[in-house]
């Protein structure tokens, strides 16, 4: 049974009389356990929806109009909790006072299929595997970290893992595709272990859709956690050269690439970012793979159409260290060609620690500290990936809180077109 959280105004669901709070028991006689079942069974052209409203059974008949959304927003699915104890788990590295969901060790194959969340597959029962096949949950997003069983067990802090290679083989045999990630920690699963993992994974082509290789993120809160170190430039150079060798093999063998290093790896190695065509359909964009290239590409396309900035127009741009070089290049071009006056402030991550340099982990308080240094008076641009869908930073502050405190407009542009609109 799932509860309807919202009904879209004017939708078919509203027209037939469904209401928020109604509980969907079955669709066409199939029991609905959760949002995944709902997504699976709602695609039929004709739907008989059985519900409970205040304990009373009700039926609704919907003939789906092609290409339209039913207009039902189900409640958030209760997430499964992981059984691992990863040496790099971010949940343990969170400081106090963050958004509640950041303290949840979530691991759920259903969200892997629905929303592209990575899962180690460690908490799945036979019934879950049966469901993967029944509902053809393909592709899945799988956190591998290492293909060697003992090494993976050490990394994930879990002795009862099944061998990942056997499970991937099983998925391949049942036509379930998968994207994979390798979170790499210096002196744990880097160097020859990294090469071995990538080569092992490539044996699953074409079920294997992609491999991302991302450097470990460490925060300052590591008490009682294993002693790990961050990537140095030399570590990143080594990882990139191994990734590049695999890329060359992929291209030789299949004429396409499947292996991608995270943007941060290029930044740490001080290496040039690949061009847009390298990333294909940007299948691991949400994982920090290709985001900088996409931003630059977006900028190049929009630049031609961008009007000159109004006289006296000034912006303050806040960003993290990883994206700062590209932001500076963009702003310099805007200053030269479009008369934009700007102030660029690189935000230190006081909340998680200075080793954390990506924009997605900057908190409201980090932006606040940076704004105290600002000498500008105009609008402030912040990275959109620092906000969740409810427009909150990780520490639950909001842009509005900062607007009130500093008396300046705060903007999180989602595309370069929006960014350009703000600066012109």
| Residues lying near ligand SF4 in the complex (CB under 6 A) | 82, 84-86, 89, 91, 105, 107, 120
| Max Cα distance, the chain (Å) | 68
What is the closest distance, in whole angstroms, from the C-beta atom of residue 94 to ligand SF4 in the complex? 11
> What is the helix (H) or strand (E) element at residue 394, kind and residue range?
none
Q: Which two tokens stand for residue 165?
A: 């290679």
What is the closest distance, in whole angstroms, from the C-beta atom of residue 105 to ligand SF4 in the complex? 4
Q: What is the DSSP string of 342-391?
A: EEEEEPP-TTT-TT---GGG--HHHHHHHHHT----S-EE--GGGS-TTS
Closest CA to 236 of 194, 279, 288, 203: 194
Query: Which residue, 72 or 185, has its beta carbon nearer to ligand SF4?
Result: 185
C-beta of residue 16 within 8 angstroms of C-beta of residue 62? yes
What is the closest distance, in whole angstroms, from the C-beta atom of residue 3 to ligand SF4 in the complex? 26
What is the closest distance, in whole angstroms, from the C-beta atom of residue 144 to ligand SF4 in the complex? 12
| Separation between Cα atoms, residue 346 and residue 216, nearest integer Å | 21
What is the closest distance, in whole angstroms, from the C-beta atom of residue 35 to ligand SF4 in the complex? 21
Distance of CA 112 to the CA centre of its chain: 11
Q: Which two tokens stand for residue 412?
A: 């999180």
Closest CA to 59 of 35, 24, 10: 24
Query: Which residue, 107 or 264, has its beta carbon nearer to ligand SF4?
Result: 107
Distance of CA 199 to the CA centre of its chain: 25
Residues sharing a CB contact under 8 Å with residue 201, sequence separation 6 or more, in sequence order: 144, 147, 168, 180, 208, 211
Query: Which residue, 156 or 382, has its beta carbon nearer to ligand SF4?
Result: 156
Query: Which residue, 86 or 137, has its beta carbon nearer to ligand SF4?
Result: 86
What is the closest distance, in whole angstroms, from the C-beta atom of residue 218 to ligand SF4 in the complex? 13
Query: Which residue, 86 or 330, has its beta carbon nearer to ligand SF4?
Result: 86
Query: Which residue, 108 or 365, has its beta carbon nearer to ligand SF4?
Result: 108
What is the closest distance, in whole angstroms, from the C-beta atom of residue 82 to ligand SF4 in the complex? 3
Query: Which residue, 19 or 104, has its beta carbon nearer to ligand SF4?
Result: 104
What is the closest distance, in whole angstroms, from the C-beta atom of residue 86 to ligand SF4 in the complex? 3
Query: Which residue, 105 or 169, has its beta carbon nearer to ligand SF4?
Result: 105
Q: Please report how the helices 191-202 and 233-254 are oriented relative to each other, as an axis angle in degrees rounded to 10.
A: 20
DSSP E strands: which ranges in 33-150? 46-53, 56-63, 72-74, 140-143
């Amino acid at each position: 049974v799932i509860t309807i959280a919202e009904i879209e105004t004017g939708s078919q669901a509203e027209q037939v009389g469904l209401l928020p709070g109604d509980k969907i028991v079955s669709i066409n006689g199939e029991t609905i356990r959760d949002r995944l079942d709902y997504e699976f069974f709602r695609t039929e052209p004709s739907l008989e929806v059985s519900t409970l409203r205040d304990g009373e059974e009700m039926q609704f008949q919907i003939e789906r109009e092609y290409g339209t959304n039913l207009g039902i927003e189900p409640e958030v699915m209760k997430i499964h909790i992981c059984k691992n104890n990863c040496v790099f788990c971010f949940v343990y590295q969170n400081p106090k006072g963050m958004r509640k969901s950041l303290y949840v060790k979530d691991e759920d194959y259903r969200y892997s299929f629905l929303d592209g969340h990575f899962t180690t597959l460690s908490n799945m029962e036979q019934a879950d595997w049966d469901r993967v096949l029944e509902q053809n949950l393909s592709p899945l997003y799988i956190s591998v970290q290492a293909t060697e069983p003992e090494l993976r067990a050490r990394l994930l802090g879990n002795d009862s893992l099944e061998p990942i290679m056997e499970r991937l083989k099983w998925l391949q045999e049942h036509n379930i595709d998968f994207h994979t990630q390798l979170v790499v920690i210096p002196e744990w699963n880097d160097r020859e272990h990294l090469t071995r993992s990538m080569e092992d994974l490539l044996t699953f082509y074409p079920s294997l859709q992609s491999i991302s290789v991302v450097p470990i993120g460490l925060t300052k809160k590591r008490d009682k956690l294993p002693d790990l170190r961050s990537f140095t430039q030399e570590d990143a150079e080594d990882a990139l050269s191994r990734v590049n060798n695999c890329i060359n093999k992929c291209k030789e063998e299949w004429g396409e690439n499947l292996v991608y290093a995270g943007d941060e790896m290029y930044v740490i190695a001080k290496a040039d970012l690949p061009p847009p065509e390298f990333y294909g359909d940007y299948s691991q964009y949400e994982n920090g793979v290709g985001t900088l290239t996409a931003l630059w590409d977006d900028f190049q396309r929009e630049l031609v159409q961008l009007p000159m900035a109004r006289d006296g127009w000034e912006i303050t741009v806040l960003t993290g260290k990883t994206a700062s070089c590209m932001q500076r290049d963009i702003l310099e071009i805007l200053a030269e060609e479009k008369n934009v006056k700007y102030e660029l402030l690189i935000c230190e991550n006081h909340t998680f620690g200075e080793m954390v340099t990506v924009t997605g982990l900057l908190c409201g308080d980090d932006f606040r500290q940076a704004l105290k240094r600002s000498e500008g008076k105009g609008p402030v641009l912040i990275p959109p990936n620092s906000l969740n869908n409810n427009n909150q930073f990780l520490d639950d502050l909001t842009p509005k809180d900062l607007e009130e405190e500093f008396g300046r407009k705060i903007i999180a542009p989602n595309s370069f077109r929006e960014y350009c609109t703000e600066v012109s």
